[in-house]
Structure 1
Amino acid sequence: MWNCFLRVMRHYVFKKKILYYGLLVFTFVILLHPDRNARGTYEFITKENIFHNLLKETATNFSSTAISDCDYYDVINDESTLPINIVEEDLIEGHRIRDGGEYAPLDCKPKFSTAVIVPYRDRAEQLRGFLVYMHMFLRRQHIHYRIYVVEQVDSRPFNKAKLINIGAVAAMRAGYPCLVFHNVDLLPFKPANLYACTKLPRHMSSSINKFRFVLPYLNLFEGAISIASKQFKVVNGMSNEHFGLNGYDDDLYSRLESHKIKLTRFEPTTSRYYMFSHQKQIKRQNKNILNHVKETMLIDGLSSLKYTEVAVVLHPLFTHIMVDL
């Protein structure tokens, strides 16, 4: 009787160990391959529906002498990945990038014009690598684009949202219908991640190596985002009051939500980005701003934007807007 009891207990313990180690292995696999369950973390535009969801519009001041339209089927279905070490290289000769960081293909007529707006301060080496990489990346997409770098030159705390507003105003004055707000420490992996606006604002960087290529939470709307100029005007841009603060992305999300404008994404494998590691500045959130977005958005944003323009320089790879906030 006693021996029978011991055999039953050993069998029970043995099965419990198998279950325990099985769970460990399963967890380990998930951690090593987070993209296996990333597909189920959010809804996205499938590849076959991307082209129909794009806003096909070029800048009001842009014209092309090409006869045929650019074809985007191969771009959208491009499964290749650009190597990150491009940041250490130089642009190839004959890149045909105009002063101010503007480019358009010569052999076909693009359907999209995009202004890439980069809020910036004190990351010169990172900016150099970003510009080289992004031009190599964007030239493969057959779009008309221009890169704006908006630098805060005063000594006040960094205000990313206000710099984005300034860049957006400059781009909209130049007639760009599509705006992409882009952190300087982010690089897209796949050319299939088309830098053009969709009918709804798009969170482009939903799959970042820092977060193991998994979207941390559904309302995240930061890093690299695209939005039509008309939609950015509708919500009055972003708040100008986020000096040294986090939450500017939540502010924009709340503004869009109040106008019943939803955000969209591409699938996780297309939306992969590499984030450079750097020393993070300690920032705080102003809950008062975020809690009263609906009440203040009409008076705080593009309509109340004030700053001193120190200089605008057309560099070979970007338009440099230096401002004092």
Structure 2
Amino acid sequence: MDIPQSTKSLGVTNEHDIELRLKENGLEIGGSYKPKYCRSRNKVAIVIPYRNRKVHLIIFLSYIHLFLQRQQLEYSIFVVEQTDGSPFNRGMLMNIGFEEAQLQSNFKCFIFHDIDMLPENDANLYGCPEDGKPRQMAFTIDIFEYKSTPDGYFGGVTAFSIKDFRKVNGFSNLFWGWGGEDDDLFQRLSFHNLTVTRPFDGLPNLTSFARYRTLYHTEEKPNPERWRLIQEGKWRFQTDGLISLQYRRLFIKFKPLYTHIYVDIKKY
């Protein structure tokens, strides 16, 4: 399957045309979709942390909606945008998306998705994982030459049941800047004896179906505190996360392609 590098892949040239095309496919306001001719076994919330990547957002949305609809999923897309002023905090934005999405509908599970990663094959199903078995979706990635990601890798695209995400207390809220929050999350899974699964576990000949291509972006400045925070994480699992989440929602807008949640978060 070809991965679109521009909105021309939809046969359109701007965001408005994309909205019209997807509306014709049955997409509802707020970036929500329900199959017309069958009942989906899954109702999935897709949460995307976001700041200052407009081109990536358009490419991602133009691609992922059609990908999910071909799988006959019932889903909604939530883009959680952080204001300027503080370093980007991916983990906290994921936590906010988890809490805010549940105010909108009764979802069965959540997929936390970086905006620059595109699944290459429809066989990589975005359905709900079992309780106790959170899923690492990105098995092989182009920037790693499509080699299998390490067993301890739990980033990029991950899927959780609501029960499991609450059990681990979500992401840490303390990782400001690039890196570390996904490693901390993996430690939380191990601490709570949850089993990380990956697409096509036990079927090595099919792992190529779980390939991802990344959209180019400049490298972010790493968080210099990330290693210390990871090492100290086990002392904070119960107190740092969903239970300690603090933010100010500035607005929520139900746009044609997604639900836009704009928040202000502070580094204390």
1:163 aligns with 2:83: no
- After superposing on structure 2, the runs of 4+ consecutive aligned residues of structure 1 that deviate more than 4 Å are none
Structure-1 residue corresponding to 2:203: none
Compared CA separation, residues 86 and 286, structure 1 to 2 (3 A):
closer
Aligned partner (choices 212, 227, 249) of residue 160 of structure 2 = 227
Query: What letter corresponds to residue 66 of structure 2 in structure 1?
Result: M
The answer to whether the aligner puts 1:316 opposite 2:256 as a matched pair is yes
Residue 103 of structure 1 corresponds to 33
2:15 aligns with none
Alpha carbons 1:100, 1:316 under 8 Å: kept: yes
Q: Does 1:258 align with 2:191?
A: yes
Q: Which amino acid aligns with 2:177?
A: G
1: distance between equivalents of 2:150 and 2:35?
37
Q: Deviations over 1:91-146 (max 9, x none)?
A: 43612111100001011111101000000000001101111101111110111000
Q: Which moved more, 1:94-103 or 1:83-92?
A: 83-92
Give distance in 2, aligned partners of 1:177 and 1:171: 11
Distance between the aligned counterparts of 1:163 and 1:85, measured in 2?
A: 26
Match of 2:247 among 296, 307, 316: 307
> Which runs of structure 2 are paired with 1:269-280 in the superposition (5 Å)?
269-280=208-219
TM-score normalised by structure 1 residue count: 0.73
**Counterpart residue type for residue 213 of structure 1:** Y
Q: Could you say what secondary structure the match of 2:262 adopts?
A: strand
Q: Which has the higher helix share?
A: 1
The Cα offsets for residues 189-208 of structure 1, whole Å up to 9 and x where unpaired, read as: 11111111222111111111
Q: What is the rounded CA distance, in whole Å, between the counterparts of 2:215 and 2:188 in structure 1?
A: 29
1:309 corresponds to which letter in structure 2? R
Matched, 1:84 2:84: no
The Cα shift of 1:245 comes to 3.9
* TM-score, scaled to structure 2: 0.88
Corresponding residue SS for 1:280:
coil
Q: For 2:100, what is the secondary structure of its paired residue?
A: helix
SS at match of 1:163: helix
**Amino acid in the other structure paired with 1:116:** I
Quote the residue 2:125 is aligned against: 194
Residue aligning to 1:241? 174
Of the structure 1 ranges 291-300 and 184-193, higher mean CA displacement relative to structure 2 is found in 291-300
Please give the per-residue CA displacement for 1:161-180, whole angstroms capped at 9, x wherever unaligned: 00000001112332212100
What secondary structure is seen at the aligned counterpart in 2 of 1:230?
helix
Q: What displacement does 1:86 show?
A: 6.3
RMSD: 1.4
Provide the identity percentage: 36
Shift of 1:288: 2.8
From 142, 146, 171, the counterpart of 1:209: 142
Equivalent residue letter for 2:91:
A
Q: Larger deviation: 268-277 or 160-169?
A: 268-277
Retained in 2: the 8 A contact 1:120–1:149? Answer: yes
Q: How far does the alpha carbon of each residue in 1:15-34 deviate from its partner, in whole angstroms, 9 at most, with x for none?
A: xxxxxxxxxxxxxxxxxxxx
Structure of greater Rg:
1
Pick closer, same or farther for the CA change 1:85–1:287 going to 2, 3 Å. closer
Answer whether contact 1:118 1:181 (CA < 8 A) is retained: yes
Q: Paired residue for 1:146? A: 76
Quick one: distance in 2 between partners of 1:238 and 1:225? 12
Gaps of 5+ in 2: 13-17, 201-206
Equivalent residue in structure 2 for 1:176, among 80, 99, 107? 107
Distance (Å, rounded) in 1 between the aligned partners of 2:178 and 2:231 = 14
For residue 209 of structure 2, give the secondary structure of its aligned residue in structure 1.
coil
Could you tell me which residue of structure 2 aligns to residue 281 of structure 1?
220
